Structure 1
Amino acid sequence: SPVGRLFLLFSGKNLAGVSFEKPDYRRGEAPESFKKELRNYFEGKSEDFKQGSVFLEGTDFEKKVWLALKEIPYGETRSYKWLSEKIGSPKASRGVGQALGRNPIPIVLPCHRIIESDGSIGGYSSGVDIKRRLLEMEYYNTLSNSRKEFGV
């Protein structure tokens, strides 16, 4: 990937994890449909992951946080405060941050799109450099796609 090597973890046919670090698990082949969606995401051709299902293991609160991430459009960001309000827990910004740090499927559940209220980048479980590169890539792809739509 443009941001480093990615390892996909599956539980049966369900995506269970995305990691930038090599897992201790047995190696297998990811479904071609998912690999294609991942390539399309990095090339800016697709903004969502529609193929396959995911397996989420976490608390009800964590799952609520992770699933709400799907509502943030490609190329855009939201704050921890926005996300805590979105899930109906307006005073839980810190808990939201902790849940994001445990997101088992980054990129697919785009926790990199959450930033601080003051516009600073905030943290990221895989490192701030990777978060910055993902945000820049999405912004560039969005800008590039907009220019193509208008014939620029």
Structure 2
Amino acid sequence: MGKDKAPDEIGGRKVVPAARRNEAARSFFRELDAYFDGTLKEFRQAVRFLRGTDFERRVWDALKEIPYGETRTYGWMADRVGSPGAARAAGRALGRNPLPILIPCHRVIGADGSLTGFSCGVEIKKWLLEHEQQGRREK
């Protein structure tokens, strides 16, 4: 996958499906297109989690605080949600993120800087981080 081209699929799902059925979906897909074009740095779509434990929802909410093009560690994430020492639990919550990219779990990395798990695959995580780094440099 080239650096200048958005992936066609993420986790086996089409990134932009042909059918854009309602205005909320069309708005989301416009934002997703702009993200992959490099013109959108922060999604404006409101997200309300209907599933997940209280801990998972706190982790997912905290993800939105990580700026575009930056990363944080699993340990930071655990501390941020008030559970110091729960880096592995934070990682499990990230793995259950229902909206990768929109809720940017790809911005969380290992304490040693390693690109660890991502529900869509580590190669996609690497691509997303490189895409955002390039966008920050072009500011």
Q: What TM-score, normalized to structure 1?
A: 0.78
Where in structure 1 do 4 or more consecutive aligned residues deviate above 4 Å?
A: none
Question: In structure 1, what is the equivalent of residue 68 of structure 2?
Answer: 74
CA shift, 1:44, in A, is 1.8
Query: Which of 4, 7, 10 is the equivalent residue of 2:8?
Result: 4
List alignment gaps of at least 5 residues for structure 2: none
Distance 1:58 1:28 in 2: 28
Range that drifts further, 45-54 or 109-118: 45-54
CA shift, 1:122, in A, is 1.2
Distance 1:135 1:22 in 2: 19
Q: Is the 8 A contact 2:49 2:57 kept in 1?
A: no
Per-residue deviation, residues 94-149 of structure 1 (Å, max 9, x unmatched): 1000011110100000000000111111111111000000000000111112xxxx
Count of aligned positions: 129
- Letter matched to residue 35 of structure 1: F
What are the residue-to-residue correspondences of 1:1-150 with 2, within 5 Å? 2-6=6-10, 20-22=11-13, 28-30=19-21, 31-145=25-139
List alignment gaps of at least 5 residues for structure 1: 7-19, 146-152
- Letter matched to residue 5 of structure 1: E
- Structure with higher strand content: 1
Q: What TM-score, normalized to structure 2?
A: 0.84
Per-residue deviation, residues 13-33 of structure 1 (Å, max 9, x unmatched): xxxxxxx3249xxx9525221
Range that drifts further, 107-116 or 30-39: 30-39
